[in-house]
Amino acid sequence: MSIKNILLHMGNDQAHMERFEVAVDLAKQHRAHLEIAYLTSPAAMPAAIQGRGASAAYIAEATAIAREKAEHVEQEVTARCKAEKLRWTWEVLEGDHNALLASRSFYADLIVVSEDHGWVFEDHVGLYGIDELVSHASCAVLVLPIGVPLPHIGKRVLIAWKDTLEASHAVRDAMPIIQAADDVHVLTTDKPGERYTASADLAEYLKRHGITVQQESDVVERGDVAKVILSYAADLKTDLIVMGAYSRPRWREALLGGVTQDMLETCEVPIIMSH
């Protein structure tokens, strides 16, 4: 598996250029094509007008402003991509962010997005939850925290491992990044009284791909898994977490399960997730 087509979500939000810089860095590393989708529909709106008639007016006005800014953003993007000698495409789109990105994920190796604005800004609500995109995308999703310095991503990688299809897909999808890392740790979390050898099996598998890993394990009570992962990420100075995204039944309030949702809502480290 190689990363040769990176789908970047851009729009009129304060984090879109941070996403662009990360995507440019990854495209340079992997000699990948950068497919840029500039979405004019707002990703969030003020909580005070949610559900009121003013919300439709806000969305219409925000969309119009984003359309006006599209040409200027494209000029910035074009200048930078030319300077870096990248291959890229630019498209202005309007509509449901998740549906549009998911439809293009069939032809991408990685999607780059920011975390849900509604989780970051208390006075706003997100209109398109990142959990829904992760659930429906056919490739891995790189979720970037907002308002956190993002140095070079992928030098120090933490794999939050379970022997599941989701985690296996995440590792395979992120393999080119993991192979280029300077330091890779595999973390498994066990229930009290149970010990597994899954991390040793993964370590042997990665060794065959030329990757040497350090194995970590911890005993975790139910409900504390995300806290443990984040604690290890902080202690190890991790700049990227790789993990599977686990679902709940559709009738539940959230599409993704507790650990996955907690990670998306609280993590200050970029995460690659696969479903």
Whole-number Å distance between alpha carbons of 127 and 129:
6
Domain ranges of the chain: 5-144, 156-266
Do 9 and 111 contact (CB within 8 A), yes or no? yes
CATH of domain 5-144: 3.40.50.620
* The CATH fold of domain 156-266: Rossmann fold (3.40.50)
How high is the pLDDT of residue 252? Answer: 40
**Of 38, 9, 42, 40, whose CA–CA distance to 127 is shortest?**
42
Per-residue pLDDT of the chain (275 residues; tens, 9 = 90+): 799 999 999 999 888 999 999 999 999 999 999 999 999 998 877 777 766 666 888 889 989 999 999 999 999 999 999 999 999 999 999 999 999 999 999 999 999 999 876 555 556 676 777 888 998 999 999 999 988 888 789 999 999 998 889 999 999 999 999 999 999 999 998 777 666 667 889 999 999 999 999 999 888 776 688 899 999 999 999 999 999 987 654 434 344 457 888 888 888 899 999 98
Do 176 and 30 contact (CB within 8 A), yes or no? yes
**Of 220, 168, 150, 154, whose CA–CA distance to 189 is shortest?**
220
> How many other CB atoms sit within 10 Å of the CB of residue 196?
15
- The token pair that represents 93 in the structure block: 């789109």
Q: 5-144 and 156-266 share one CATH topology?
A: yes
Burial letters 141-156, b for 16+ CB under 10 A, else e = bbbbbbeeebeebbeb
Whole-number Å distance between alpha carbons of 29 and 32:
8
For 133, the enclosing helix (H) or strand (E) is helix 130-136
> How many other CB atoms sit within 10 Å of the CB of residue 267?
20
How high is the pLDDT of residue 29? Answer: 96
How high is the pLDDT of residue 17? Answer: 94
- The token pair that represents 180 in the structure block: 């280029």
φ/ψ of residue 118, rounded to 5: -65, -20
**Of 160, 146, 131, 170, whose CA–CA distance to 264 is shortest?**
131
Whole-number Å distance between alpha carbons of 108 and 148:
26
- pTM, two decimals, is 0.91
How high is the pLDDT of residue 250? Answer: 42
- The token pair that represents 266 in the structure block: 């609280």
Whole-number Å distance between alpha carbons of 39 and 19:
14
